[in-house]
Amino acid sequence: MDNIGSRIAYFLVEKGLIQREDLEKVLPPDQPSGDVSVEEQLTQAGLVSPEQFRSLAEEFFGTPFASQPDFPKEPILLDHLSTQFMKESKFIPSRLTDNTLTVIMSNPLDFYTIDAIRLATNFEIDVLAGRENEILEAIERSYGVGGTSMEKIIEDTETVPEYRGEDEENVDHLRDMASEGPVIRLVNLIITRAIELRASDIHFEPFEEQFRVRYRIDGVLHDVESPPKRLQSAIVSRVKIMAKLNIAERRLPQDGRIMLRVKGKEIDFRVSSIPTIHGESIVLRILDKSSIVLDIEKLGFPEDTMDGFRDLIHRPHGIILV
């Protein structure tokens, strides 16, 4: 059984809620629990109710247990906190107020990770306990880079021929690579995720050993899961074809435009291509008029600041300096 789950299970024994013999029938100490959590196994066996397990987990961890409203409705993007780190350490940022970041963790006693988050963000950290599967699902839902979609598409691109520099005049080769189904799906996925995260720009940046994708969100560039370097030419060519640019021209800057329907909305993209020493750098400026209208509740103000702001904007005259 998993370490944290087993510790909570034996905490139930200490509390006298279940007998050790009954526990070891359901969870033999020398057998792995597989993909089923300790909580699920205990509740399925009728040894404890979900409410009892949750209550005892709160007592064991000394911290409240997260409920569904605690999980973020929109992703909290922070520099130096990669999605891979969240997945490996099984935590997700829940909310950010003033100088305090609240995170939901499957193991609130993982002080090493808590210290790492504090050092990376320079925020005070509050912790809520949470179920591992719910945390991982929330990471996938909020950040869209949990791996399922991107990794599956990248696996499918194993059949896409790798483009080599000496073939750069071979326009047909470029067009063939850009027309591969997995490449089309990969570019569409990158664009769709940018829209979901309310990004204003998508940057495709070539380097010597990597091909990096970044989103500009609220004026700040954020690294996101990037495709392998071998797909650089295929992806760049795909974007250029969509923008009706000359895919054979790789030495001069080019500008174009893409009109796409994404999630039922017509969105305009302005595309710029700039040659660099390691290949063409592409920037897509996203012109989504619907994203300009923001709910005042989504500005991220603490409650007391929001109350003061509402009072000010309802006054008959005055000015607010930002």
Tokens 């030495």 sit at which residue? Answer: 251
Residues 152 and 266 in one domain: yes
319 in a structural domain: no
* CB contact set of 89 (below 8 Å; sequence gap of 6+): 105, 110, 113, 116
Q: What is the pLDDT of residue 93?
A: 92
Residues 151 and 286 in one domain: yes
Among 142, 89, 95, smallest CA distance to 123 is for: 95
In contact, 127 and 100? CB cutoff 8 Å: no
Q: What is the pLDDT of residue 175?
A: 82
Residues 41 and 109 in one domain: no
Q: What is the pLDDT of residue 148?
A: 47
**Can you read off the two tokens belonging to residue 18?**
């279940």
- Residue-wise pLDDT for 232-253, tens only, equals 999 999 999 999 999 888 899 9
In contact, 202 and 191? CB cutoff 8 Å: yes
Q: What is the CA radius of gyration of the chain?
A: 25
Residues 156 and 89 in one domain: no
- Of the three residues 99, 118, 141, the one that is the final residue of a domain is 141
Q: What is the pLDDT of residue 146?
A: 41
The domain of 180 spans 147-291
How far apart CA 201 and CA 57 sit, in angstroms, is 43
204 in a structural domain: yes
Q: Rounded to an integer, what is the distance from CA 13 to the centroid of its chain?
A: 38
Residues 158 and 134 in one domain: no
Q: What is the pLDDT of residue 166?
A: 47
Q: What is the pLDDT of residue 1?
A: 45
Residues 151 and 249 in one domain: yes
Residues 77 and 55 in one domain: no
28 in a structural domain: yes
Residues 54 and 73 in one domain: no
Element (H, E) at 198: none
CA atoms within 13 A on the CB side of 196: 17
Residues 215 and 248 in one domain: yes
For 102, the 3-state DSSP assignment is: strand
The DSSP bridge pattern shows strands 254-262 and 124-129 to be: unpaired
Residues 230 and 287 in one domain: yes
Q: What is the pLDDT of residue 286?
A: 93
For 133, the 3-state DSSP assignment is: helix
Residues 158 and 286 in one domain: yes
Q: In what order do the strands lie in the sheet with 211-217?
A: 220-223, 211-217, 201-206, 279-287, 265-276, 254-262
- Residue-wise pLDDT for 95-136, tens only, equals 888 889 999 998 888 899 999 999 988 899 999 988 888 898
**Can you read off the two tokens belonging to residue 231?**
């797909």
Q: In 10 A of CB 144, how many CB atoms? A: 22
Instruction: Indicate the number of domains in the chain.
Output: 3
25 in a structural domain: yes
Spans in the chain with pLDDT lower than 50: 1, 145-148, 166-167
Q: What is the pLDDT of residue 147?
A: 45
* CB contact set of 298 (below 8 Å; sequence gap of 6+): 74
Residues 282 and 155 in one domain: yes
For 177, the 3-state DSSP assignment is: helix
